[in-house]
Amino acid sequence: MLNEPREFQRMLDGYRLVTAEILYRMPDHPAFLQTYVWQDYDLAPRYPTLSKFLAFWEANLEGPLHSVRVATKKLITPADVPYAAYMGMLH
């Protein structure tokens, strides 16, 4: 269920739910990989919100990034939003 009408409008504008599986090296044990899952609404194919998050990670966190795997799903397509062909009044 959508929390706000703003989220629905963002989906109509082309935003999609993006999930990123981030593998990073543990600072104390660089031979080991740890997983972090990130999820937010973003615009494909450039993913500016994810890119901003990854830039923040590299600048401020100790665990160096190993790899990022992205999965995305467009939640609303034009076919999902029907338009009324007729509007009438009863009573």
Backbone angles phi and psi of 13, in degrees to 5: -80, 0
Domain range for residue 29? 5-76
- pLDDT tens for 29-73 read 999 999 999 999 999 889 999 999 999 999 999 999 999 999 998
Report yes or no on whether pTM surpasses 0.85: no
**Which spans in the chain are helix H?**
5-12, 48-60
3-state secondary structure of 74: coil
- Considering the domain boundaries, does residue 22 fall inside one? yes
- Considering the domain boundaries, does residue 26 fall inside one? yes
- Considering the domain boundaries, does residue 14 fall inside one? yes
Domain count, the chain: 1
The amino acid present at 47, given as its one-letter code, is Y
The larger pLDDT score, comparing residue 78 to residue 21, is at 21
CA distances for 8 relative to 20, 38, 40, angstroms: 21, 20, 14
Rounded Cα gap, residues 58 and 23, in angstroms: 13
